[in-house]
Amino acid sequence: MNFNIRYQPHDHASDGSGANQRDPAMESLIQRLDALGAAHAHEAAERGISQRVFNASVQQLGSEAPVVAGRLRWQRLAGGLAAAAVIGMATMISLGVFNTGKRGTPHDVMLASDVSSDVSAERMLAGLLDNRAALESVDPAAAEGVPSVAVTRELRATEVHDEIEGLIAIGGAR
């Protein structure tokens, strides 16, 4: 078995180690250290470990491949599930499944505000508008202390829904 092991002793004259050719004792020591390195490399070649190391590395790569492929499959599956969840949530939100009533339909707003009658709805809307005139039209007593505004209009129970929808359209109820 030939693994073409090459061992190249160092060029100690230029290795910057502080050892140089002019110090025979140090040079002799370095030669012996190099010989030790060569001996270990030779031992590795004699034991034929390169082939076994190579085989082990190939096995490692072989055993890694299915693991990696499996990991990728799981990652793809997880990615698909996450995408499906996002699409599902978006669909449900668009269908109003999670509607809290604050920004939903006028009916939702009324329910969320615990409004049980059209008159109460009118008062609620007038409060939302901070419109004294509007408030006065439905509950003069409650209008006391509420600042006047330039715009006045009469609110009717039948107009409540339109007003609320208008509020929603311009940015929602305060």
Partner 1 sequence: MLVERYTGRVYGVLRAQGVDPERAEEITQSVFCTLAAKLPSYVEQGHFESWLFRIALNRLRDDARRRKRHARPVGEGEILEGLASRGPGPADTAGRAEPEELDALRAALSRLSPSDREVVDLRHVGGLSFKQMAELLNEPLGTLLARHHRALQKLRSLLDGTEGDSP
For partner 1, the closer CB: 34 or 139: 34
For partner 1, the closer CB: 64 or 154: 64
Residue of 47, 76, 107, 156 that binds partner 1 (CB under 8 A): 47
The residue whose two tokens read 């009118």 is 122
Q: Phi and psi of 102, rounded to 5°?
A: -65, -35
Residue of 13, 21, 58, 149 that binds partner 1 (CB under 8 A): 58
For partner 1, the closer CB: 63 or 91: 63
The residue whose two tokens read 């109820």 is 173
CB neighbour list of residue 12: distance below 8 Å, 6 or more residues apart:
19, 20, 21, 27, 30
The helix or strand, by DSSP H or E, that contains position 94, with its residue range, turns out to be helix 49-94
Asked if 158 interacts with partner 1 (CB under 8 A), we say no
Nearest C-alpha neighbor of 146 from the set 154, 157, 156, 134: 134
Asked if 27 interacts with partner 1 (CB under 8 A), we say no
For partner 1, the closer CB: 3 or 92: 3
Displacement of CA 92 from its chain's centroid (Å): 22
Q: How far is the CB of 29 from partner 1 (least distance, A)?
A: 5
Residue of 13, 21, 60, 79 that binds partner 1 (CB under 8 A): 60
- Where along the sequence are the contacts to partner 1 (CB under 8 A)? 3-5, 7-8, 10, 15-19, 25-26, 29-47, 49-50, 52-54, 56-58, 60-61, 64
